[in-house]
């Protein structure tokens, strides 16, 4: 464990107490959101991102140490363990290094070398490798090993068997493999050729090469996909002659020996037949793993920004799910997301019942006092937007529309959760409900959908699905807990992401709410079935009660800090139990003058905890998403044909990838701002410039109507 702690301190540049306390907290079963928010003194205020990285690395290093112990035990059981071997294993820094050291001792399938050993040819191999003989003929020496019973019929066959043994010995040299791996990574080239003579998405790779050390992650995944679909052949070309020189210099100890040509031949065979294919697989796996990690990281950042988009509060919304033949599905939801009405209209081809559809929607808008219309961006969205824009021009009420990314709405509609939430609503109408509600509160609605289907990924179907799922779930968990949820309105889908709460406990919370009415305090959580004291500690601070008897229940202040918060309020001249709205306003002014160091000492709490209490008391129940940019609302429609090079427009960033960002400028085809067009300065990572949900100003560079492609630039545009 000491080794692991020292390594984590070094890699994360952390103090020892931070690492030790974090490991202790994780081992005790505390969740990452809880540790990040409520154990800042113990961790030195480490954020959830760092804590998750540290937890992942902790798992890897523990697995590494366990594997070292296992390998040492396995080698010892063969009675081949030496102090030198044990020291090499102990000093290994990766699982790959440990496996390389264990390679010669690993039980092997029957190879050419093992069969040669069975034929008694190992002594001959030892003579050749000894390189003591400077005169004579190896074939004469090999005569002594000819044995028809062992199927060694000629000296040449004996020498061939000895070469196989030497080749495998070279291949099993852990230090040599490490050198060759590093050389291939630093000097190797990924070479790609097309396997078909046809137009495809992979044409740019039909005759392509790039150094292993510089090939970018998204290109690796694209090449892998092209290879899988049999459009491309891929190989890694290493500096073979340079590597062979390294092998020979390591293996040859006597250049006057008659073994010299033979050892060179064995080295060549070892590299080309045994080492090179193995190292190529390792290098490609390494490239793929890094590319997948980058793709997953990009997806995670995009997902976080998507989920943390500002909610649209206090508005009645009409969800509009566009379609052609089957009609456009309409759902009206009130400001709390409660379903008020549904219908289906047919303003698009082939029916094109524009007049009738307008009458139906006008009645709904007037009846429910609709403020906004959320139009899904799928099939028939363009035609639906034109219809809605025309409709809004004919009514007096100030209603605006917004295009909403409907990715995953159909998945939710047909899901078990969708049928449980709306058992009496047709599956086709549930999509319209989801579109409307995701405008009101993106986080609350999008948690109902598998994160892989929300439309902000990059090659998400080509990466390790378990790793992707684990990462995205962690992102959702961090977002939900950073915002907190209303205990009296949160769905099971939202509650099960709260720290410490399982799906079963989330259902029990909702069941109790439906049975006995709204929660009036956090303490009532302890009456929920299967929600014990330990779970309460983990979850309580992230669950809010609206208009509670105790104002602290509407904040992120943890119940364990209530005594300190109450005492702080009292010292500032207020009474927590009798505070009014006017008192809260005056309390803010008093909080600004608090001496953090002195007050923390007097209250017996840490400065980070005191700072968090003060921030919460300044604005009880504040939603951190309020600082995020809101959606763009429209009244007029624009088409792809309206776009002209040089036009300057405002748009919403929908997806950020390694090579740029896709921006929705209101024409139903997102435009690409290539990384080279994001700034006058050099941009290494698009995420340094923009994030999903950002409102940006862009200039149209080019419009390709045939391929529905729009090239945009942010250069010279102030956003």
* CATH number of residue 566's parent domain: 1.10.150.310
User: Nearest-5° angle of CA 684, CA 689, CA 690?
Assistant: 130
How many structural domains comprise the chain?
5
Q: Is the pLDDT of residue 281 over 60?
A: yes
Q: At 72, list the tokens.
A: 């040492």
Cis peptide before 359 (omega within 30 of 0): no
Tell me the CATH number at 427. Answer: 3.30.420.140
pLDDT for residue 68 is more than 90: yes
CATH number reported for the structural domain that contains residue 117 in this entry: 1.10.3500.10
Q: Which helix (H) or strand (E) holds 218?
A: helix 217-228
Residue 562: predicted pLDDT? 96
Helix axis angle, 95-102 to 83-91, nearest 10°: 160
pLDDT class of 637 with cuts at 50, 70, 90: low
Question: Over 60: is that where the pLDDT of 250 sits?
Answer: yes
Task: List the helix and strand counts (H, then E) for the chain.
Answer: 30, 15
Task: Give burial (CB, 10 Å; 0-12/13-18/19+) of 59.
Answer: exposed
Q: Are 249 and 293 in the same domain?
A: yes
Return the minimum-mean-pLDDT range out of 41-55, 396-410, 452-466.
Answer: 452-466
- Same domain, residue pair 534 and 424: no
- Convert the pLDDT of each residue in 103-147 to its tens digit: 999 988 889 999 999 999 999 999 999 999 998 899 999 999 999
Residues 149 and 289 in one domain: yes
Q: Are residues 428 and 545 in the same domain?
A: no
Q: Is the pLDDT of residue 168 over 90?
A: yes
Query: What's 691's domain CATH number?
Result: 2.40.50.140
User: Which band of pLDDT confidence, cut at 50, 70 and 90, is reported for residue 43?
Assistant: very high
For residues 219-238, average pLDDT: 95
Same domain, 223 and 138: yes
Mean per-residue pLDDT over the chain, rounded: 92
How far is the first Cα of the chain from the last one, in angstroms, to the nearest whole number? 50
50 or 665, greater pLDDT: 50
Shared domain for 12 and 96, answered yes or no, is yes
Q: How far apart are CA 103 and CA 315, in angstroms?
A: 66
pLDDT at 124: 95
- pLDDT score recorded for residue 274: 95
Lowest mean pLDDT among 283-287, 341-345, 358-362, 469-473: 469-473
Say whether both 152 and 264 belong to one domain: yes
Do both 339 and 433 map to the same domain?
yes
- Whether the pLDDT of residue 521 is over 60: the answer is yes
pLDDT band at residue 627 under the 50/70/90 scheme? confident
Distance CA 248, CA 616 (A): 69
Containing structural domain, residue 691:
640-713
What's the average model confidence in pLDDT over 414-433? 90
**Of 125 and 708, more confident:** 125
Structural domain contains residue 130 = yes
pLDDT digits (tens, 9 = 90+) for 298-327: 899 989 988 998 899 899 999 999 999 999
Is residue 458 situated within a structural domain?
no
Domain end call among 587, 604, 627: 627
The secondary element (H helix, E strand) that includes residue 700 is: strand 695-704
Residues 185 and 81 in one domain: no
Opening angle at CA 452, ends 446 and 453, nearest 5: 60
Is the pLDDT at 209 greater than 80? The verdict is yes
In a domain, 498, yes or no: no
Instruction: Categorise residue 610: left if φ over 0, alpha if ψ from -120 to 50, beta otherwise.
Output: alpha
In a domain, 480, yes or no: no
pTM: predicted TM-score of the whole model, two decimal places:
0.85
> Is pLDDT above 90 for 492?
yes
473 belongs to a structural domain: no
Which of 627, 648, 676 terminates a domain? The answer is 627
**Rounded (10°) CA dihedral 222, 225, 227, 229:** -140
Picking from 440, 455, 474, the residue at the C-terminal end of a domain is: 440
Token reading at 250: 């390591």
Specify the pLDDT at position 99: 94
> Looking at residue 608, what is its pLDDT?
96
Same domain membership, residue 669 and residue 539: no
Q: How confident is the model at residue 44 (pLDDT cuts 50, 70, 90)?
A: very high
Residues 136 and 261 in one domain: yes
467 in a domain, yes or no?
no
Nearest to 715 by CA among 688, 693, 683, 692: 683
Nearest CA-CA partner of 553 in 572, 569, 540? 540
Does the pLDDT at position 718 exceed 70?
no
**Residue 310 counted as domain residue:** no
Residue 621's pLDDT band, with cuts at 50, 70 and 90, is confident
Same domain, 366 and 228: no
pLDDT in the model for residue 719 = 54
pLDDT in tens, 563-619: 999 999 999 998 988 888 788 888 888 898 899 999 999 999 999 999 999 999 988
Q: What is the CATH number of the domain that holds 86?
A: 1.10.10.650
Structural domain contains residue 697: yes
């Amino acid at each position: 464990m000491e080794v692991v702690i020292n390594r984590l301190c070094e890699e994360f540049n952390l103090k020892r107490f931070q690492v030790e306390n974090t490991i202790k907290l994780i081992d005790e079963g505390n969740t990452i959101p809880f540790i990040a928010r409520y154990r800042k003194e113990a961790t030195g205020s480490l954020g959830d991102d760092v804590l998750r990285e540290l937890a992942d690395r902790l798992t890897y290093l523990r697995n590494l140490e366990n594997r070292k112990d296992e390998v040492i035990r396995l080698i010892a059981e063969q009675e081949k363990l030496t102090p030198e071997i044990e020291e090499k294993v102990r000093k290994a820094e990766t699982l790959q290094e440990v496996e390389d050291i264990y390679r010669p001792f690993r039980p092997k399938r029957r190879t050419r070398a093992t069969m040669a050993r069975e034929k008694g040819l190992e002594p001959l191999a030892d003579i050749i490798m000894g390189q003591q003989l400077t005169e004579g003929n190896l074939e004469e020496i090999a005569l002594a090993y000819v044995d028809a019973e062992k199927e060694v019929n000629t000296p040449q066959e004996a020498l061939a068997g000895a070469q196989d043994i030497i080749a495998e010995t070279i291949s099993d040299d852990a230090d040599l493999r490490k050198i060759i791996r590093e050389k291939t990574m630093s000097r190797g080239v990924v070479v790609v050729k097309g396997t078909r003579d046809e137009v495809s998405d992979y044409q740019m790779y039909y005759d392509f090469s790039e150094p292993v050390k510089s090939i970018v992650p998204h290109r690796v995944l694209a090449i892998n996909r092209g290879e899988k679909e049999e459009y491309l052949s891929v190989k890694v070309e290493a500096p073979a002659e340079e590597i062979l020189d390294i092998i020979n210099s390591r293996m040859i100890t006597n250049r006057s020996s008659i073994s010299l040509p033979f050892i060179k031949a064995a080295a060549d065979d070892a590299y080309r037949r045994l080492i090179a294919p193995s190292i190529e697989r390792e290098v490609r796996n390494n490239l793929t793993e890094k590319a997948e990690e980058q793709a997953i990281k990009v997806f995670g950042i995009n997902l976080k920004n998507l989920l943390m988009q500002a909610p649209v509060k206090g508005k009645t919304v009409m969800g509009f799910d566009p379609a052609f033949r089957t009609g456009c599905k309409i759902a009206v939801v009130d400001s709390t997301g409660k379903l008020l009405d549904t219908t289906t209209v047919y303003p698009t081809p082939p029916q094109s019942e524009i007049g009738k559809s307008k009458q139906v929607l006008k009645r709904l808008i007037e009846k429910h006092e609709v403020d906004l219309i959320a139009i899904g961006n799928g099939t028939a969205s363009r035609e639906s937007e034109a219809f809605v824009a025309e409709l809004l021009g004919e009514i007096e009420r100030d209603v605006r529309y917004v295009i909403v990314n409907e990715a995953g709405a159909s998945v939710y509609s047909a899901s078990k959760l969708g049928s449980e939430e709306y058992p009496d609503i047709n599956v086709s109408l549930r999509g319209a409900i989801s579109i409307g509600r995701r405008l009101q509160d993106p986080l609350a609605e999008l948690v109902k959908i598998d994160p892989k289907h929300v439309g902000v990924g990059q090659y998400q179907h080509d990466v390790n699905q378990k790793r992707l799922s684990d990462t995205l779930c962690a992102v959702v968990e961090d977002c939900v807990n950073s915002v907190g949820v209303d205990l009296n309105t949160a769905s099971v889908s939202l509650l099960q992401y709260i720290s410490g709460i399982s799906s079963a406990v989330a259902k029990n919370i909702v069941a109790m709410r439906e049975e006995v009415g709204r929660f009036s305090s956090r303490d009532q959580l302890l009456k929920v079935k299967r929600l014990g004291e330990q779970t309460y500690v983990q979850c309580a601070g992230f669950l809010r009660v609206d208009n509670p008897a105790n104002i602290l229940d509407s904040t992120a202040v943890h119940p364990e800090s209530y005594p300190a918060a109450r005492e702080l309020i009292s010292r500032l001249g207020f009474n927590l139990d009798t505070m009014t709205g006017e008192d809260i306003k005056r309390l803010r002014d008093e909080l600004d003058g608090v001496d953090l160091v002195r007050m923390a000492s007097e209250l017996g709490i840490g400065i980070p905890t005191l700072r968090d209490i003060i921030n919460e008391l300044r604005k009880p129940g504040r939603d951190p998403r309020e600082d995020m940019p809101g959606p763009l609302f429209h009244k007029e429609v624009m088409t792809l044909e309206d776009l002209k090079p040089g036009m300057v427009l405002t748009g919403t960033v929908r997806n950020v990838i390694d090579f740029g960002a896709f921006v929705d400028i209101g024409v139903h085809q997102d435009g690409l701002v290539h990384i080279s067009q994001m700034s006058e300065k050099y941009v290494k990572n698009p995420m340094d410039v923009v994030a999903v949900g950002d409102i940006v100003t862009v200039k149209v560079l080019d419009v390709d109507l045939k391929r529905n492609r729009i090239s945009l630039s942010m250069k010279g545009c102030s956003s």
